Amino acid sequence: MASTAPLSGLKVLELGGLAPSPFAGLILADYGADVVRIDRLITPFGPPRDTLCRRKRSIVIDFKRPASRDAFLELVRAADVLIDPYRPGVMTRLGLGPDTLLRLNPRLIYAHLHGFRPDGFYGHRAGHDINYLAVSGILSILGRMGEKPSPPANILGDFAGGGLVCVTGILMALMHRERAGGRGQVVTANMVDGSAYLATFPRQQHGRQNMDRPRGENLLDGAAPFYEVYETKDGRFVAVGAQEPQFYAQLLAGLGLDDRKMPGQGQWDREHWSETKETFARVFRSKTMNEWRQVFDGTDACVSPVLEFDEVEMPYKPLVELSESPSLDVSMQEDFPELKKGEGSLEVLKEWVPEMERNMVIDEASKLLTLKRKTTTTSHLGTSKL
């Protein structure tokens, strides 16, 4: 039975990279796209292996070897999307930049995924999630009062502001292609601007009521006693977000506290927030996390347990659920998956370039893909060096 996933039939080349670009490819693959990771012969230094490889296959390419480069270009001819995670200009210096590849395949969506804004001050410099958040202005608002800014792992910059934003651009470009007679285009995403866009609300609210104080002294960043994380008797934690008065009333009831006996003049008396927070902290330490769950799980007090990964509600769900064109199944996920270099490459050739398959060679040891004979594929493209 044919897949009804919305991206079924879409062919994607994902140039091998770190977390953000594989995440973009993962989303596309989960919704039916055929994603092929283009690996290099060398294994670059970096964090543990790429585990964002669900449903992907791999082909090994050496861009500096003419025969391998020619094989890559045959794949580009068949592709709908190419994801490029390299620094600005790298693929262009190889003679494989967007202008060249769009001439070869005018339907191609060439998606750049950069760290810094490519035409900005840091555009050609190396960086990671923490650096992108730093220059986007976001890192400055994350953290506790009196402490240094605290990065939220690499979720916000790499995955939300990077990979997910890149996918948004790709989908928009695909929609445009349908309306523009099949013409592709270049999508340029970067983690600085992508993350900054996600922070539109706090930026607009900055300096206004409830967001007009230094880091850690505002409504949503740790100052309010009713929007805070509290430790429980067993060393676990609960998260409290009872902003609205009706939710706050249920919070107090669950804690066994009388609003009339609370410090100050009620919930929004900022001068007494620290005193109220001390009271809440003392009460929360009187029971275990599970005991507090028995108190609050059936209420609208906006009190939730802080769960570990292995405690969350199962099964896993897709990014979004679509009634008529659902994603592929993601309910079971391997803990530390691996896509070996060259895995699935023979099948890719049969499905993507069947007319060229007999001219392709995959080296048994290195898995490097090359084209047996010189074709006209690159005769008008030329070659260049890094």
- In the predicted model, is pLDDT for residue 375 greater than 60? no
Give one DSSP letter per residue of 266-326, joined into a string.
STT-GGGHHHHHHHHHHHHTTS-HHHHHHHHTTSSS-EEE---GGGS-SS---SS--SSSP
Query: Last residue of some domain: 301, 330, 345?
Result: 301
Using alpha carbons only, what angle is made at residue 249 by residues 243 and 253, rounded to the nearest 5 degrees?
A: 130
Looking at residue 236, which CATH number applies to its domain?
Answer: 3.30.1540.10
Residue 88 inside a domain? The answer is: yes
Same domain (yes/no): 237, 323: no
User: Do 193 and 232 lie in a common domain?
Assistant: no
DSSP for 244-270, please give it: SHHHHHHHHHHHT--GGGSSTTSTT-G
Rounded Cα distance, 297 and 290, in Å:
10
- Residue 158 annotated among the catalytic residues of the structure: yes
State how many domains the chain has.
Answer: 2
Is the domain of 75 the same as that of 99? yes
Instruction: For residues 30 and 169, state if they share a domain.
Output: yes
Instruction: Express as a percent the part of the chain with pLDDT over 90.
Output: 89
The pLDDT value recorded for residue 84 is: 97
* Domain membership flag for residue 266: yes
DSSP secondary structure letters along 103-148: HH-TT-EEEEEESS-TTSTTTTS---HHHHHHHHT-GGG-S-TTS-
pLDDT digits (tens, 9 = 90+) for 88-113: 999 999 999 999 999 999 999 999 99
Q: Given this model, what pLDDT does residue 379 score?
A: 41
Q: What angle do CA 261, 266, 272 make, to 5 degrees?
A: 90
d(CA 196, CA 274): 31
pLDDT at 115 over 90: yes
Distance in Å from the first CA to the final CA of the chain: 46
Sheet holding 11-15, edge to edge: 57-60, 34-39, 11-15, 81-84, 109-114, 185-190
User: Are residues 23 and 68 located together in one domain of the fold?
Assistant: yes
Same domain, yes or no: 64 and 173:
yes
Share of the chain above pLDDT 70, in %: 95
pLDDT (mean) for 160-184: 97
258 and 152 in one domain? Answer: no
Residue 290 lies in a domain: yes
CB-CB contact of 36 with 357 (8 Å): no
In a domain, 306, yes or no: no
Q: Which phi and psi angles does 326 have, rounded to 5°?
A: -65, 160
Q: Which tens digits make up the pLDDT trace of 219-271?
A: 999 999 999 999 999 999 999 999 999 999 999 999 999 999 999 899 999 99
Same domain, 170 and 64: yes
Q: Please tell me the predicted confidence (pLDDT) of residue 107.
A: 98
173-181 contact pairs (CB < 8 A, 24+): 173/109, 173/111, 174/10, 174/80, 174/81, 174/109, 177/107, 177/109
Does 47 share its domain with 181?
Answer: yes
What is the per-residue pLDDT across 288-306, written as a single tens digit (0 to 9) for each? 999 999 999 999 999 999 9
Residue 6 falls inside a structural domain: no
- Residue 46 pLDDT exceeds 50: yes
In terms of residue numbers, what domain contains 169? Answer: 11-200+316-371
**Residue 47 pLDDT class (50, 70, 90 cuts):** low
- Flag whether 381 is in a domain: no
Confidence (pLDDT) at 334: 86
Residues 335 and 278 grouped into a single domain: no
CATH (domain of 130): 3.40.50.10540
* Virtual torsion, Cα 164, 170, 172, 178, nearest 10 deg: -150
Residue 3 has what pLDDT?
78
| Confidence (pTM) | 0.92
Query: Among 30, 158, 193, 221, which one carries the catalytic annotation?
Result: 158
Same domain, 18 and 132: yes
My answer on whether 196 and 245 are in the same domain is no
